[in-house]
Amino acid sequence: MNDTNKIILKIKDLEVLYATRMGLVKAVDKVDLELKRGQTLGLVGESGCGKSTLGFSILRLIPPPGRIIGGEIIFDSADLVKKTEKEMRNIRGKRISMIFQDPMTCLNPLMRIGDHIVETILTHEKKLNKKDAIKIAEDLVVKLGISKLRLDDYPHQFSGGMRQRAMISLALALNSDLIIADEPTTSLDVIVEAQILDLLKELRSSYKLTIILITHNMGVVSELVDRIAIMYAGKIVEIADCFPLFEKPLHPYTVGLLKSIPNISLEKQELEIMPGSPPDLINLPTGCRFHPRCKNVMKKCSLYEPPLKEVKENHLVRCWLY
């Protein structure tokens, strides 16, 4: 995978709508995003902010009644929004893979882990024979810390962490151009979570992976991603490279998220809980969607919606303070 620095994914003005019995919900509202080959982007926000919907829309796998109503998802120069379902089937897995929060949603409980990986390889690499595919599967799982003897196991015989490793091996087996990891460590305990994050970090460098990591946990992204996009109520409110964002977050929501992460290097630390909760997407506040929770709220904040503006090089924020 070469061409590092080439933009592989460009999302423009993306809008995703859910028609629910309670009303229309715009889960993703005019989102713009770019990702370079070899880059890792963290997509962060509280649950219900639209980050998973955004991830699923890239694969055109938004669960009904959701649908894309506007915008473009340019992947490797073609607009995925315009692709047919048949064309998307060739892109899913082979070009773009997804690692889910619960690997059991993708692993067939009646199929051995090894068969999963071998079948995936054979489906997408038609020129390979079964013997070659088994060898690739064995080498892969060993690299991911699973004994090749465990390839005969069924998913229920694997622990949560091992199942997540198996999912990662499926993504690697396909040599995907883009991996979307949706809360991949949320269901794991902290020790296994740290192991999986270390593994992703190591693989990111050795395989030069391009990853979108979707998470509600700022702590999870801190060591793994190059760039972070913060989502709130369907919109990106801040986007910057990892270091500057942690060093000097600009949006009051990002500041609140960072203040709520425990810092183990400090002996004493007062964690701040952000007041309030995310808005109901059917009844959004006027102006800035964060204004009912914002400590810095001003008069204009409830009247006008701020634009996403570049306030420093490569650092964009949606807030009237800037």
Which parts of this chain interact with ligand SF4 (CB under 6 A)? 251-252, 288, 290-291, 294, 296-298, 301, 306, 319-321
Tokens of 16: 């995703």
> Nearer to ligand SF4 by C-beta: 71 or 252?
252
Of 55, 49, 52, the residue nearest 254 (C-alpha): 49
Closest distance of CB 232 from ligand SF4, Å: 9
Closest approach of ligand SF4 to the CB of residue 291, in Å: 4
Rounded to whole angstroms, the Cα distance separating 211 from 206 reads: 13
CA distance 145 to 135: 16
Look at residues 188, 55, 170 and name the one whose alpha carbon lies nearest to residue 108. Answer: 170
Quick one: 203 or 294, whose CB is closer to ligand SF4?
A: 294
User: Closer to ligand SF4 at the Cβ: 103 or 256?
Assistant: 256
For ligand SF4, the closer CB: 236 or 319:
319
User: 257 near 274, Cβ under 8 Å?
Assistant: yes
Shorter beta-carbon distance to ligand SF4: residue 130 or 312: 312
- Shortest Cβ distance from residue 261 to ligand SF4 (Å)? 19
Residue 289 CB, nearest distance to ligand SF4 (Å)? 8
CB nearer to ligand SF4: pick between 114 and 306: 306
Greatest Cα pair distance, the chain, in angstroms, is: 68
CB of 260 to ligand SF4, least distance (A): 16
What is the bridge-based pairing of β-strands 78-79 and 96-99? Answer: unpaired
Dist CA 322 CA 309 (whole Å)? 8
- The distance of closest approach from Cβ of residue 187 to ligand SF4 in the complex, given in angstroms and rounded to an integer, is 32
> Of the two residues 155 and 249, which places its CB atom closer to ligand SF4 in the complex?
249
Instruction: Take residue 319 and report the two structure tokens written for it.
Output: 């807030």
- CB of 284: closest distance to ligand SF4 in angstroms? 13
CB atoms near residue 178 (< 10 Å): 22
Q: Closest approach of Cβ 308 to ligand SF4, in Å?
A: 11
What distance in Å separates the CA atoms of residue 198 and residue 196, rounded to the nearest whole number?
5
Of 45 and 306, CB closest to ligand SF4: 306
What are the Cα distances from residue 86, in Å, to 12, 82, 91? 23, 12, 9
